Amino acid sequence: MKNTRTLVGRVVSDKRAKTVTVLIERRTAHELYGKIVARSRKYHAHDEKGEYKLGDMVEIAEGRPISKTKSWVVTRLVEKAKLV
């Protein structure tokens, strides 16, 4: 198996067909001041069956480019969204 990059994040949008937007948050030290700050980035991930919904915690893996902005694929569901 190839050593592919995987990230875990929360689905923040499921409006597109076969695509979910996943927010990845990481905590890192500030370059100058050393304070721990939260950094975040959104990735578009491929969801063939449209099974992942808003608020779900998912794992995404890097793959071949599927479209202009999409080169990640949702591999598994980590945690289902909590019902409010």
- 43 with 10: CB under 8 angstroms? no
Total count of domains within the chain: 1
Q: Is residue 1 part of a domain?
A: no
Q: What pLDDT is stored for residue 1 in this prediction?
A: 56
CATH number of the structural domain spanning residue 61: 2.40.50.140
Q: What pLDDT is stored for residue 83 in this prediction?
A: 77
> Could you state, in chain order, the average pLDDT of each consecutive group of 10 residues for the chain (84 residues)?
87 95 97 97 95 95 96 95 79
Distance from C-alpha of 22 to C-alpha of 12, rounded to nearest angstrom: 6
Range of the structural domain that residue 13 is part of: 6-79
Tell me if the pTM is above 0.85: yes
Residue 78: name the closest of 40, 28, 22 by CA. Answer: 22
